[in-house]
Structure formats: C-alpha cells, structure tokens
Amino acid sequence: MALASGVRFAERALLRPWALLRGTTLGRTEPAAGGGGDGARRFGSQRVLVEPDAASGVAVMKLRNPPVNALSLELLTELVISLEKLENDKTFRGVILTSDCPRVFCAGLDLTEICGRNPAHCAEYWKAMQELWLRTYLSSLVLVAAINGACPAGGCIIALSCDCRVLADNPKYRIGLNETLLGIIAPFWLKDTYVNTIGHRASEQALQLGSLFPPAEALQVGLVDQVVPEDQVQSTALSEMARWLAVPDHARQLTKNMMRKATADRLLRQRDADTQNFVSFVCRDSIQKSLQAYLEKLRQRKG
C-alpha cells in the first residue's frame, strides 16, 4: 500500500518532457578517460557530463556550462533528461552532482534568461526550473552534492534538493539564498526547502538578509553536512554515498518520499499560479531594472 502510493506520487512528479532542446546534443556516448567496458562509458549532453560506474551503481554528473554554470534553459533541460535517464536505468542507485567549471558549482538562475525577455519565455524558463527542482527533490536515487565552488541562489537550491552536501573548504565558495540582494524574492518552495534544511528561524534571518555563508558557517547552520579540503570533496562524496547506499532502497526511498512529499505537493498543486506569479513579478519594469543593474555590476567587477 505504502509502496503503491509512493510509486503513484513519483509518477505524478514525472511531468511532461519538453521539446525545447535548442542546441543540445543529448544521448552522446563516449569512452571515459582510461577506457573500459560499458561501466566506464560516459554519456550526457553538451552541458551535462555523466560518468557512470555500473559496478558501484553510482554516476557522477558534472555541470559544464562555462563560465559559471548559470542555469540556462538548455542546462535545466539537459539536467532533467540526464537524471531521468539514470533513474530509468536500474543499474544506478546514486548520483554525485558536481561542477566541471573551476571555482563555481552553479551561479543560479541565468539572469540573461529573465532580463529583457518576453513573458512567454520567462514562463517557459520558470517551468523548467520547477521541473528540475521536482525531479531532484523527489528523486528515487541517492543524490550527493559535491560542491566544488560558489553556490548561490538557484545553485544552492539544487544542492539542497540533494540528500547530502559536501562543500570544499574555500572561503570564496559561499552558499545560500541571496535573492533579496538582487531585489527578488525566493518563491515559497525555495523557502520551504530552506526551512526543511536549516529550520525556521535560521531561514527567516538568512532569507531576509540574503546571506551567503562561507564553509564553516554553512556547516554550523546545517546548510551542508561536511566541509573538507578541496582535493577531498569527491572522495568524501563517494564515502557519503556508500553510507546512504548501505540502506535498502525501498525503505530509504519511501522514507524520503514521506519526508518530502508535502513540500513537493504544495508546488504541484500551485504550479501554474507560481509560474504566473514569477512572470508578472520579473516582468515588472522596476524588477527588470534591478536585474539589469545586478548583471551589469557582475560584468564590471572583473579582475
């Protein structure tokens, strides 16, 4: 009975795939460095590199949308499709999510996708963001974030949707939801994800202040589970993965579903309204001006 409802829930979360693969090259397969059999072949797309290890049942999924892994529509789409491919392949039980770009895990929303764009594009973009969150938050796989770079806003949300987070100990690699500093507001499902991770009071403070936490503080507040030297992020993520995979899948998956269902259901019930809210908010002249100003500041602060 519990299993059946878990499966039904997962099915409901599998919403429509998009036919929007502008400029993507999905499904490419190539031998991983070092060669080997099927278990060592990597696949993926232009912006998501997947290194599967069939023997351990773990795949490493690397975001590679240089320079900062901003969440473009293409990257969001390719992430969802790569994750779905692994979910549908019973060989795999866990995914380590990390960055292929130096110094940045993910810079969050690609601001060029919502600056100077028409409402239809903003709506399409936001639906893709919702989809990625639903897929990661409800994934039946164990997801471990190996955070090897800066992790603001949308990047933080991807990390928080994983089951476990390992952050590299570098003061430049800050993590948090800094939306208010851009003059925008985290929607309720980002807020809920934050609250579920670090509690209400800490979220209230951090969200209003737009706090980006350096590693030691991120660990203290509970945003990440481990902080380790940069060269140990991958190996620590693998050890964490082993700990999570030691639990029988069905028990872990149903427990995860029990813990996360209400939060995900809240978005599933209000998905259209959330999209309309996002579009009408970001398309306001005043918000467009602050986003443009923020983007300009980013472009000018080089060096």
Q: Which residues are catalytic?
A: 109, 154, 178-179
Instruction: Using the minimum distance from each CB to ligand LJEIAPTW, give the nearer residue, 77 or 253.
Output: 77
Measured in whole angstroms, how far is the alpha carbon of residue 214 from the centre of its chain? 19
User: Is the CB of 147 or the CB of 184 nearer to ligand LJEIAPTW?
Assistant: 184
CB 189 within 8 A of CB 142: no
Give the nearest distance from C-beta 152 to ligand LJEIAPTW in angstroms: 4
Whose Cβ is closer to ligand LJEIAPTW: residue 142's or residue 182's? 182
To ligand LJEIAPTW, the closest distance from the beta carbon of 44 in angstroms equals 22
Shortest separation between residue 253's beta carbon and ligand LJEIAPTW, angstroms: 28
CA angle 142, 231, 48 (to 5 degrees): 50
Those residues whose C-beta lies under 8 Å from the C-beta of residue 4, and which sit 6 or more positions away, are none
Residue keyed to tokens 């770079």? 149
Identity of the residue, 49 or 68, whose beta carbon is nearer to ligand LJEIAPTW in the bound complex: 68
Q: Distance between CA 198 and CA 112 in Å, rounded? A: 30
- Nearest-angstrom CA–CA distance, 161 and 151: 13
Under 8 Å between Cβ of 237 and 98:
yes
Please enumerate in sequence order all residues whose Cβ is within 8 A of that of 85, keeping only pairs 6 or more positions apart, or say none.
43, 50
What residue ranges bind ligand LJEIAPTW (CB under 6 A)?
Answer: 67-68, 70, 103-104, 107-112, 150, 152-154, 178-179, 182, 184-187, 190, 277-278, 281-282, 298-299, 302
Among candidate residues 272, 267, 137, 243, the one with its CA nearest the CA of residue 197: 137
The residue nearest ligand LJEIAPTW at its CB is 108
Instruction: Please identify, using beta-carbon distances, which residue of 154 and 215 lies nearer to ligand LJEIAPTW.
Output: 154
What is the Cα–Cα distance from 145 to 274, expressed in whole angstroms?
A: 26
Class of residue 170 by CB neighbours under 10 A (exposed 0-12, middle 13-18, buried 19+)? middle
Q: How far is the CB of 251 from ligand LJEIAPTW (least distance, A)?
A: 33
